[in-house]
Structure 1
């Protein structure tokens, strides 16, 4: 049955059904107040508070469903979009699921550069990206007559070299521990990737897409920033506001005490400790930091 016709009034939202992106996606949907209940073994869930139908699919299939307009939006890896070679709007980098698609070769083996693998056998789940990469290498070395052989393996790619299936592999690497355990080392990064909210070129509910994107942008900002409040003498403001300029501008309010002000500013979480140290050194007092659970920026 064609879900687009079966649920004509709902936006189709494709979500990874399992794998490394799944749990983070569920947390993101909850933070965006997309409420749903998914019954066991069902890959469709109707949103309870918005006209959305969630379709749970393998992450590798989501770019195709969105690219063909079967789903309006989806969450999948940047790598999967490029592997599928589809035309979609790369709507929003969600900044999770970060990893690298790398060429890995046996440690202490004969290969130290990608060029040495021209004409050899490369094993990967990402055969299109791998083929494109080695075709570019082959063009750089026009004297080479051998074509690199790209072989598909759906899982346990890291075992391919040890089992004699290939001379090297191209696979996603997060921490690198699995590759080290398999006796492999990276010699090149083909692509850096993370999870993205992707959008069809012709979504059925563009305003709803805009709403979802805005909510997710708010969640990402809330994760990236904290709210810093402090008091300071007014004559110290020029120096202090250079430390906490805010995303657009800091909020400055007068205090009952003459020539004193209260300052409120969003600061990046990763710089928080250094910023607090600088504020204290420059004369700020009563410095407080608050978590931001959600926002619109």
Structure 2
């Protein structure tokens, strides 16, 4: 909220805050409820997981994939069970907090008639098998550390998920949603790229542009020395060091990398 310019004051233990500089209210809800409120209520825009959207069957617009909170919803089973095929869990006990997605997955697996017993728990799903409640679980996996610590392994992938920006299909404030969506995308893009500036001999410009083509094309300016040019370009953050090495190898100097706080593309 800070990076997209929304200022607000939130009182202690309050779930609603009014913006002090924009005509909007912020509502702080559990992630599992947000999709429902955006679908059925008077909430115009929200941030939650794609898995939550699918689990709640919310009819919302997916405005943007935000690129964080990435994980996978998977069927898991104890390593000791030696189960390798998800079909071996058909008709057995599955514990999950994603009952709708789990039931749909196993119903499709079983040809439309669900025989697998899917039960709901809200937390500590990974303990269900060890405590005798389940033969397998359906749960989110990010790094897999919790799964492995519980003696579980992935048997099947149900879906990839990440944090998404969602919108109410019946909003009466589309203009404001468009502004917020543009601002959020600008912040996300800024987080993916850095700004690079360097000087390059004029006769090496074409070669340099192949290394740093930019979003559209590099910005090129003449220096007082007519044999040299100044180049400014956006590059992906993970490629920074490799690009600097390659530019230096062809004669670039004064190579600088700057952080981008915000942008509009």
Work out whether the TM-score is over 0.5: yes
Deviation at 1:87, TM superposition (A): 1.1
Q: Is the 8 A contact 1:69 1:203 kept in 2?
A: no
Deviation at 1:84, TM superposition (A): 0.7
> What are the residue-to-residue correspondences of 1:29-68 with 2, within 5 Å?
29-68=1-40
Unaligned ranges ≥5, structure 1: 1-28
State the secondary structure of the residue aligned to 1:61.
Answer: helix
CA distance in 1, matches of 2:41, 2:224: 59
Q: Does 1:163 align with 2:131?
A: yes
Report how many residues are paired: 265
Q: Which residue of 2 aligns with 1:181?
A: 149
> What are the residue-to-residue correspondences of 1:6-155 with 2, within 5 Å?
29-139=1-111, 147-155=115-123
Deviation at 1:146, TM superposition (A): 7.0
Deviations 1:195-227 (A, max 9, x none): 111011122211111111111111111110000
Q: Which residue of 2 aligns with 1:245?
A: 213
CA distance in 2, matches of 1:275, 1:146: 54
Structure 1 residue ranges, 4+ long, deviating more than 3 angstroms after superposition: none
Q: Which residue of 2 aligns with 1:273?
A: 241
Q: Which residue of 2 aligns with 1:22?
A: none
Please give the root-mean-square deviation of Cα atoms over the aligned residues, in Å. Answer: 1.3
Unaligned ranges ≥5, structure 2: none
Scaled by the length of structure 1, the TM-score of the pair is 0.87
CA distance in 2, matches of 1:274, 1:205: 45
